[in-house]
Amino acid sequence: MSDYLNKIWNILSFPEKALLEKRIPKKQFLESGRLTGNDKKLFRDNVKNVYWQYTLKPSTCPVLPYRDNDREYLEVAILHVELVSQKGLPRIAEIIHRTIPYPMKLVFTNNEENLAFSIAPKRFSQAEQGAFVVESFFTTTWLDDISFSPASEFIASLNWNVLSLSNFGVLYREWIDRFIAFESALKSGAFRLGNTESRQETLESYKDLEYQIVELKSQIKKAAFNKQVELNTELKKKEQELKHLATSLT
């Protein structure tokens, strides 16, 4: 194991008793009936190895199972995914989350010692008995340097010893809070926990507005001069709205 990877596991500080380090064959994912040809090529070419690094369950850590009418978190898996390059990170994360039925945290590394994380809360399927569906995906961008904020604060907030550990439902919610805080920090510049629901709504509005701005810029390039003036005015207005939303994410 590289010094860099050792540093990451030391920061996260999962219980020693939970260590598994079991390699998962790539064919387990490639043989999934849900994958397209492009998915299989991406996974085959860019996924080097997948390891079941830790298993968090009552016998390996002091955390209780969680059950309600919608979900059942009896244990949580921590997977280490080695990629060849940065290519296709969000899609590869989705493939892994959809293939394995456990709630998981994925830790991605690549040959350049970049780092990324992904989680995905899951619930029972209402359409198929015994099946599960992913509620949403939270996948970070690649973190090129974890010594600077907000990446350093985000990773420190994932340390096992600062999390609420009453049950696996609470633990997973703690992770979601931190992923949303990190995404907010990338827009606002400040990493702060709290206001998760309102921040999540604001982030959705932010993404919608970013898309509108991209569309407007494309229209401006194609428009006649008199129309460009009108579109530029609208563009400046939306860019100001985007700055306001970024400020509200602090």
What are the tens digits of pLDDT across the range 166-223?
A: 999 999 999 999 999 999 999 999 999 989 999 999 999 999 999 999 999 999 999 8
Strand partners, 49: 82
> Which run of H or E residues covers position 83?
strand 76-83
Amino acid, res. 67: R
Share of the chain above pLDDT 70, in %: 100
Q: What is the structure's pLDDT at 1?
A: 61
User: pLDDT digit string (tens) for 31-54?
Assistant: 887 899 999 999 999 999 999 999
Domain ranges across the chain: 3-167, 196-248
Considering only CA atoms, which of 24, 25, 31 is closest in space to residue 78? 24
Predicted local distance difference test score (pLDDT) of residue 226: 86
Local structure of residue 142 (DSSP, 8 states) = P
Q: What amino acid is encoded at 9 in this protein? A: W
Residue 146: predicted pLDDT = 84
Helices H, strands E: what count in the chain? 8, 10
181 within 8 A of 154, measured Cβ to Cβ: yes
What pLDDT sits at residue 113?
A: 83
Q: Is the pLDDT of residue 160 over 90?
A: yes
Look at residue 165 and tell me whether its pLDDT is greater than 80: yes
pLDDT over 70 (residue 108)? yes
Q: 97 near 113, Cβ under 8 Å?
A: no
Percent of the chain with pLDDT over 90: 84
Model confidence over 112-146: pLDDT tens digits? 889 999 999 999 988 888 789 999 999 999 998 88
Q: What is the pLDDT of residue 128?
A: 85
pLDDT tens for 51-85 read 999 999 999 999 999 999 999 999 999 999 999 99
Q: What is the pLDDT of residue 234?
A: 94
66 strand-pairing partners: 73
